[in-house]
Amino acid sequence: MTELKDHITEKLAVLPEYDLYQVWDFVQYLEWRKAKPDSDTNLPSPYSPNRDRLIGLFDGPPDLASRAEETLQQAAVKYSGWTWKNNAA
């Protein structure tokens, strides 16, 4: 077990700070799960929405994917530097 802890400590020593936040969040989750094995609805404390990568992932209208081409056409105006190629077969 000591060898494993030493290996983990070596890896943690070279991780960037952002990755250390993810490791810390995971450690907190493991502690929370150990304390409350029957409940998976509560978030481990302290929860920080600023570090939650899923917040904003689904930001936008519900039909965003189906309207992606239309949105791109509207964004490609003559002053933007982009043009839209017509599909003439």
What is the Cα–Cα distance from 6 to 3, expressed in whole angstroms? 5
Per-residue pLDDT of the chain (89 residues; tens, 9 = 90+): 689 999 999 999 999 988 899 999 999 988 888 887 565 555 556 777 777 777 666 666 667 778 878 877 777 765 666 666 776 65
Give the single-character DSSP code of 43.
P
CA atoms within 13 A on the CB side of 59: 5
Predicted confidence at residue 50, as pLDDT, reads: 73
